[in-house]
Structure 1
Amino acid sequence: MTAAAGRAVPATMRAAVQRGPRQLAVEEVPVPVPGPGQLLVRVLAVGTCGSDVHFYEHGELGGFRADGPLILGHEPSGVIVATGPGSTRRSLNERVSIEPGTCCGRCEQCRAGRYNLCPAMHFYAVPGQADGAFAEYVLAHEDFVHPVPDGVSDEAAALLEPLSVAVWACRKARVAPGDRVLVTGAGPIGLVALQSARAFGAQEVVVSDVNPHRLALARELGATEVVNVAERPLAEAGFAPDVLLECSGSGAATTEAVHQVARAGRVVLVGMGGDEVTLPLARLQNYELEVTGTFRYARTWPTALALVTSGTVDLDRLVTHRYGLADAERALTAGAREPDAVKAVVLPQK
């Protein structure tokens, strides 16, 4: 292992370790040692995600169950402090955003460029795959770290991960100039989906939610209209989108929104809620609607970084709460406690 000069890599580090539902505490654990092609990154910022919250509250998500200790967090940025054998693509002391998964590179999906569907994927904070980044240091493969310029904050560099989710959704939806887009759910994913759709050329983007604060932020970030569905049904908005980006994860919201999609429209299911959702089959057939899911992303970081560096997408505006590593549990519960919370970020070095 080659380490950066001027800063010795310690033998142990602090990490927020979950040992059961709602059982999370900071512990002293060994600093991982980078293997061939790997890098050791000192974590500077980690965004909290809805999947982290779900694992924290229930200990399981999407068929994955945390039967042992687990470190959450899969939206990290940091600085490279050590390299493993054979690592040549990145430099020590380089500030990076981390794509939090490593694929096999050999299977049919990887060879086709769909490495997000690799059956051998090792993704951060997924039980049985890899620990996450609620820690002072984390391992990353050199093929999946992306240098960031000085003008991009540590927090924005971390949030390139959720932005990548939105970029991938817009690609799947084939959002194009002139499109009319409906985004259901004004959480962090919905807000970056809104900005991404505008960047892809959407003429109109309507955002629906039940949280007035988040809807106000959506308007600030470029929504042409917002709909508080707690006050009036989506149908009363009179908006027939070409594209639906469903980011709420709510079955009821999904069903209601699909009923609004125009003929030959495209529906992309982004949010994760229940395991099943009811879709109006007659509407799908009579209108020839396309419906697809999304699973993470592939080859999105260069586009996401370009959107941020150009100022087209504002990620810093999403950060409403910041916590040190000792308060990771508060970061995970901020959304439930604070009505104005949008994105909570953990700063492991604090």
Structure 2
Amino acid sequence: MRALVFTGPGKAEVQEVPEPVAAAGQVVVEVERAGVCGTDVELFSGEMSYLHSGRSSYPLRPGHEWSGVVTALGAGVDESWRGRRVTGDTMIACGRCRRCLGGRHHVCAEMRELGIADGLPGALAEKLAFPAAYLHALPDTVDATAGALVEPGGNAERSVTAAALAAGERLLVLGTGTIGLLSAMIARSRGIETHLLGHHLGFARELGFTGVWSRDSLPDLAWDAVIDATNGPEMPGLAVRLVEPGRRVVCIGLSGTPSTIDTRDVVLKDVTAVGILGASGGLGAVVRAYAQGLVDPRPLVAAVAGLDDVAGVLAGHRPAGAGDGPKILVDPRR
């Protein structure tokens, strides 16, 4: 089968690789859609920290945002999975340790990350072997495109939940990329007054948001929570300065250099700062939100590319005819 392989920094090629076989407890999925995200860009460029710590190495097969149909079952897998459209958790853990048993498998010391860390080939391929215990079934109302946006949606869902806001309260989301926009869409679906600060303001307005601001135009309002979904090292500090005393700042974005927060601001304002790693705890909730029509992530997709186009996308080239949305999806069968 065909699969995208990173062979070194800045080097990506589509290779013929052996088709996966479902081992015990696994399924084989025919991938319908896979997303390209910032983590993939960092793995491609060589900037990803895992490449320097030894957690990841080349050659590497990327892809952790995906949807597809189960075509084969390994020993011990329930027959009901066959033929179902699914997506899955990126974080694959041991299932035995104190963290896993306490509901924190996404921070398991033995946790492996699909398409990111060594040992689990990713979904930018025609087929994928995947552990059945980490599958999430997609209802018929969630198509392949929305299914591939469940993983980023899970990150956004966890971020909005961590902000701990009630309907009618005011949220400021820093960043108008995929995670920032999905966070805003999920918050809006909960009756939260949602504002965005970022650069791609016109597209955010097309999504129906009226509280869309640049740094220069941001109004002096009481922000009951702030979500930082940017990669700017100065933005977490800005979030702490902007948020109302006694409320929450949620950090989902990561910068390439260390961010700085003045802990005097945190202490003297009695601010709670929450970090979000991964989508695991939000996947089920976001599948339900998509299925019920509370959130429709599909307008975020600018284009659907083929595997041969991915290297160019990772290098910053948008496919011909791409729309204004921040997300590029891939149909590996093309």
The TM-score range, normalised by the shorter chain, is: over 0.9
> Aligned residue for 1:139?
129
Distance 1:116 1:250 in 2: 25
> Aligned residue for 2:18?
30
Instruction: Determine whether 1:223 maps to 2:197.
Output: no
- Shift of the alpha carbon at 1:89? 6.2
> Aligned residue for 1:126?
116
- Shift of the alpha carbon at 1:223? 2.9
Instruction: Determine whether 1:277 maps to 2:259.
Output: yes
Cα RMSD for the two superposed structures:
2.0
Q: For 1:202-213, what aligned pairs fall within 5 Å after superposition?
A: 202=192, 204-211=193-200
> Aligned residue for 1:321?
303
> Aligned residue for 1:111?
101
Contact (CA 8 Å) 2:6, 2:44: kept in 1 or not?
yes
Distance 1:320 1:288 in 2: 41
> Aligned residue for 2:332?
348
Distance 1:82 1:327 in 2: 28
- Provide structure 1 residue ranges, at least 5 long, that are not aligned to the other structure: 1-12
**TM-score relative to the length of structure 2:** 0.92
Query: 1:294 pairs with 276, 282, 290, which one?
Result: 276
> Aligned residue for 2:87?
97
- Shift of the alpha carbon at 1:335? 6.5
Distance 2:258 2:79 in 1: 42
Amino acid at match of 1:128: D
Distance 2:161 2:303 in 1: 30
Give the 3 Å change call, closer, same or farther, for CA 219–48 of structure 1 in structure 2: same
Contact (CA 8 Å) 1:39, 1:84: kept in 2 or not?
yes
Contact (CA 8 Å) 2:239, 2:249: kept in 1 or not?
no
Contact (CA 8 Å) 2:39, 2:48: kept in 1 or not?
no
Give the 3 Å change call, closer, same or farther, for CA 93–336 of structure 1 in structure 2: closer
> Aligned residue for 1:238?
220
> Aligned residue for 2:150?
160
Contact (CA 8 Å) 2:57, 2:118: kept in 1 or not?
no
Give the 3 Å change call, closer, same or farther, for CA 343–23 of structure 1 in structure 2: same
Instruction: Determine whether 1:307 maps to 2:289.
Output: yes
- Shift of the alpha carbon at 1:265? 1.4
> Aligned residue for 1:7?
none
Contact (CA 8 Å) 1:331, 1:345: kept in 2 or not?
no
Distance 1:221 1:16 in 2: 32
Distance 1:106 1:275 in 2: 34
Amino acid at match of 1:142: A
> Aligned residue for 1:21?
9
Contact (CA 8 Å) 1:76, 1:157: kept in 2 or not?
yes
- Shift of the alpha carbon at 1:188? 0.3
> Aligned residue for 1:185?
175
> Aligned residue for 1:83?
73
Contact (CA 8 Å) 2:69, 2:86: kept in 1 or not?
yes
Contact (CA 8 Å) 2:303, 2:323: kept in 1 or not?
no
Give the 3 Å change call, closer, same or farther, for CA 275–131 of structure 1 in structure 2: farther
The total of aligned residue pairs comes to 330
Post-superposition Cα deviations, 1:37-91, rounded to whole Å, max 9, x if no partner, equal 1000010100111111111112533555543200111001000011111111642
Contact (CA 8 Å) 2:196, 2:212: kept in 1 or not?
yes
